[in-house]
Chain A
Amino acid sequence: MIYREAGQYKASYQADQAIFPIAQDRFVMLALLAIAFFVVPLVATEYVYRAVLIPTVILALAAIGLNVLMGYCGQVSLGSGAFMGVGAYAAYNLAIRLPFLNPFVCILLSGFVAAAVGLVFGIPSLRIKGFYLAVATLAAQFFGDWAFLRVKWITDYTPSGSVNAPPLQILGWDLSSPTANYLVSLAFAVMLALGVKNIVRGHIGRQWMAIRDMDIAAEIIGVRPMYAKLTAFAVSSFLIGVAGALWAFVYLGSWEPAAFDINRSFQLMFMVIIGGLGSILGSVLGAIFIVVMPIFLNQALPPLGAAFGWRISTATVSHFEAMIFGALIVFFLVVEPHGLARLWSIAKEKLRLWPFPH
Chain B
Amino acid sequence: MGLRKAVLLGAAVVSAGVIAAATAQAQNEQFIPGLVYRTGAYAPNGIPFADGVADYINMINARDGGINGVKILFEECETGYATDRGVECYERLKGKGPTGASYFSPLSTGITFALTEKAPGDKIPLLTMGYGRADSRDGEVFTWNFPLLGTYWTAANVAIQFIAKEWGGFDKLKGKKIALLYHDSPYGKEPIAALEAMSKKYGFEFLPIPVPAPGSEQKSQWLQIRQQRPDYVLLWGWGVMNSAAVTEAGNVNYPRDKMLGVWWSGAEPDVIPAGDKAAGYKALMLQHPAGKAPVYADLEKYVISQSKSLAKPEEIGSVLYNRGLINSMLGTEAIRTAMAKFGNKPMTGEQVRWGFEHLNLTADRIKQLGFEGMIGPLKVTCADHEGARLSRVHQWDGKKWNVISDWFTGDDTIIEPLVKSTAEKYAAEKKITARDCSKES
Chain A interface residues (CB < 8 Å from chain B):
46-47, 50-51, 55, 96, 145, 149, 158-162, 164, 166-167, 176, 251-259, 295, 298-300, 303-304, 306-307, 313-315, 317-319, 322
Contacts and interface: CB of A to CB of B under 8 A. Distances in A.
19 contacts: A47-B91, A47-B95, A51-B91, A149-B184, A158-B422, A159-B134, A160-B109, A160-B133, A176-B121, A251-B84, A252-B87, A256-B113, A256-B186, A299-B92, A300-B18, A303-B22, A304-B18, A307-B18, A314-B77
B15 interface: yes
Interface string B169-213: 000000000000000111101101100000000000000001011
Given A295-B88, A303-B15, A315 B78 contact: yes
Contacts of A166: 429-431
A303 B18 contact: yes
Contacts of A145: 212
A295 B372 CA distance: 42
A314 B36 contact: yes
A47 B117 contact: no
Contact of B80 (A149, A254, A318): A318
Given A258-B110, A315-B38, A159 B190 contact: yes
Contacts of A295: 88
B109 A256 contact: yes
B118 interface: yes
A162 B113 CA distance: 8
A166 B432 CA distance: 10
A237 to B, nearest CB: 22
Given A164-B430, A258-B185, A307-B14, A318 B39 contact: yes
A306 B22 contact: yes
Contacts of B134: 159
B190 A160 contact: yes
B84 A55 contact: yes
A314 B38 contact: yes
Contacts of A252: 83, 87, 114, 117
B426 interface: yes
B310 interface: yes
Q: A-B pairs with the 6 shortest C-beta distances?
A: A253-B117, A315-B38, A303-B18, A159-B193, A300-B15, A160-B186
B116 interface: yes
Nearest to A322: B39
A277 B133 CA distance: 42
Contact of A159 (B14, B192, B431): B192
B397 interface: no
Contacts of B121: 176
Interface of B: 11, 14-16, 18-19, 21-22, 36, 38-39, 43, 47, 50, 76-78, 80, 83-84, 87-88, 91-92, 95, 109-110, 113-114, 116-118, 121, 133-134, 184-187, 189-190, 192-193, 210, 212-213, 310, 418, 422, 425-426, 429-431
The residue in A47, A251, A254, A317 that gathers the most chain B C-beta atoms within 10 A of its C-beta is A254
Nearest to A150: B210
Contacts of B210: 149
A87 to B, nearest CB: 17
Nearest to B76: A314
A304 B14 contact: yes
Nearest to B118: A253
B356 to A, nearest CB: 21
Contacts of B88: 50-51, 295
Nearest to A46: B91
Nearest to A50: B91
Contacts of B16: 300
B114 A318 contact: no
Contacts of A55: 84
A225 B83 CA distance: 40
Nearest to A315: B38
A328 to B, nearest CB: 10
Nearest to A162: B186
A306 B21 CA distance: 11
B113 A167 contact: no
Nearest to B426: A164
A255 B189 contact: no
Contacts of B18: 300, 303-304, 306-307
Contact of A51 (B11, B36, B50, B87): B87
Contacts of A164: 117, 426, 429-430
Contacts of B422: 158-159
A258 B83 contact: yes
Given A167-B430, A259-B110, A304 B83 contact: no
Given A162-B186, A166-B429, A254-B117, 11 more contacts: A47-B95, A50-B88, A159-B422, A251-B84, A258-B83, A258-B213, A303-B22, A304-B11, A315-B47, A318-B78, A322-B39
Nearest to A145: B212
Contacts of A158: 422, 425
Contacts of B22: 303, 306
Contacts of A314: 36, 38, 50, 76-78
Nearest to A291: B84
A47 B92 contact: yes
Contacts of A299: 19, 92
A303 B430 contact: no
Given A252-B114, A318-B78, A300 B92 contact: no
A167 B427 CA distance: 11
A57 to B, nearest CB: 14
A254 B426 CA distance: 11
A158 to B, nearest CB: 8
A86 to B, nearest CB: 19
A304 to B, nearest CB: 5
A298 B431 CA distance: 37
Contacts of A51: 87-88, 91-92
Contacts of B109: 160, 162, 256
Nearest to B54: A314
A144 to B, nearest CB: 13
Given A149-B210, A159-B422, A313-B310, A257 B15 contact: no
A19 to B, nearest CB: 30
A255 B114 contact: yes
Nearest to B187: A160
Contact of A96 (B43, B50, B185, B429): B429
